[in-house]
């Protein structure tokens, strides 16, 4: 029988072995959209393995929600209708896992927005500050993307947010696009996936973020939807990983990415 290197490798040490196993594990995930629940997927990823997470969770807007006169259906396989407290707990668990999987100099770009429920505004800081990213918000980007909500009981809500979250306060980006912290629809034109998916990121948003991290190699989107983050990452020569619950969206994303 050959030597059982896995158990007797005193010379290289278990940390080297652990690193090798982590490398093998991350390689299994690279350059695919995985049809998996977000937390299950995250828990399978090694710690300190991801350079950039760019993502947008469902906002918990209800199975069918309305803004102004428009009514929207939620996703194909997901109701987007949790009790708010559970939703926030879920987001905290997800953020904590994201904190674990990003590298020491890694970054997470977390898109969310202020929502109105029962007449009162709920802000993403309510749970970000309860997660491991509390006090690790490097910047808050305002995304002025308009809204069909012209309800006259308040000023019209017109913006979303993108939070830049880090593990290490010393983490830097390079403002390669020479931009301020407010982006509008001219900066980030919406791209359609021909009506099949309404909540896609603008490709330019992902491109701008990635271009500010020239050394990033692995980009993850834990709610990949139509696959915008992964498609842009591939186009920019990066490795990517996507997690998505809906099989239909996974297929849509894979077809989109194949064409790049
Ligand atoms: C706001 S969309 C993301 C859109 C994406 N940024 C794009 O450009 O297409 C949120 C996505 O999360 C997915 N989703 C919801 N619950 C999930 C879960 N538990 N695990 C993984 N994906 C989930 C939904 O199916 C939906 O596609």
Q: Determine which residue's CA is closest to atom 13 belonging to ligand 1.
A: 223
Measured in Å, residue 214 CA sits from the centre of ligand 1 at 26
Give the C-alpha separation, 1 to 53, whole Å: 44
Atom of ligand 1 nearest to the CA of 226: 9
Residues 6+ apart with CB under 8 A from 25: 44, 45, 46
Q: Write down the CATH number for the domain with range 28-258.
A: 3.40.50.150
* Contact indicator for 71, 19 with CB cutoff of 8 Å: no
Residues 6+ apart with CB under 8 A from 186: none
3-state secondary structure 159-188: EEEEEEEECCCCCCCCCCCCCCCEEECCCC
Atom of ligand 1 nearest to the CA of 59: 1
- Domain positions in the chain are 28-258
Measured in Å, residue 245 CA sits from the centre of ligand 1 at 7
Measured in Å, residue 234 CA sits from the centre of ligand 1 at 19
Q: Identify the bridge partners of residue 71 per DSSP, sorted by sequence position.
A: 66
> Quick one: DSSP state of residue 31?
T
Its pTM stands at 0.92
Measured in Å, residue 244 CA sits from the centre of ligand 1 at 6
Q: What angle do CA 133, 52, 42 make, to 5 degrees?
A: 70
* Contact indicator for 232, 70 with CB cutoff of 8 Å: no
Which residue out of 225, 231, 232, 234 has the highest number of ligand 1 atoms within 8 Å of its CB and is therefore the one to mutate?
Answer: 225
Give the C-alpha separation, 98 to 38, whole Å: 10
List the chain pLDDT tens, one digit each, 260 residues. 455 555 445 556 778 999 999 999 999 999 999 999 999 999 999 999 999 999 999 999 986 555 545 555 566 667 888 999 999 999 999 999 999 999 999 999 999 999 999 999 999 999 999 999 999 999 999 999 987 778 899 999 999 999 999 999 999 999 999 999 999 999 999 876 556 777 899 999 999 999 999 999 999 999 999 999 999 999 999 999 999 999 999 999 999 999 99
């Amino acid at each position: 029988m050959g030597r059982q290197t896995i158990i007797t490798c005193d010379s290289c040490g278990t940390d080297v072995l652990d690193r090798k196993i982590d490398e093998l594990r991350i390689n299994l995930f690279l350059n695919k959209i995985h049809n998996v629940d977000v937390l299950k997927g995250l828990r399978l990823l090694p710690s300190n393995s991801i350079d950039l997470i760019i993502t947008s969770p469902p906002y918990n807007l209800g199975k069918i929600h309305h803004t102004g006169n428009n009514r929207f259906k939620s996703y194909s396989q997901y109701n987007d209708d949790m009790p708010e407290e559970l939703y926030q707990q879920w987001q905290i668990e997800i953020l904590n896992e994201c904190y674990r999987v990003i590298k020491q100099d890694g970054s997470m770009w977390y898109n969310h927005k202020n929502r109105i429920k029962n007449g009162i505004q709920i802000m993403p800081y309510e749970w970000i500050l309860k997660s491991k990213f509390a006090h690790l918000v490097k910047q808050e980007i305002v995304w002025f993307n308009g809204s069909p909500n012209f309800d006259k009981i308040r000023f019209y809500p017109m913006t979303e947010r993108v939070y830049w979250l880090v593990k290490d306060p010393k983490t830097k980006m390079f403002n390669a696009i020479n931009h301020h912290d407010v982006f509008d629809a001219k900066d980030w034109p919406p791209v359609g996936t021909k009506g099949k998916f309404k909540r896609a990121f603008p490709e330019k948003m992902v491109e701008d973020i990635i271009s500010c991290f020239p050394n990033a190699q692995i980009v993850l989107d834990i709610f990949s939807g139509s696959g915008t983050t992964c498609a842009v990452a591939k186009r920019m020569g990066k490795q990517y990983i996507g997690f998505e619950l809906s099989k239909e969206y996974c297929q849509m994303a894979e077809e989109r990415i194949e064409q790049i």
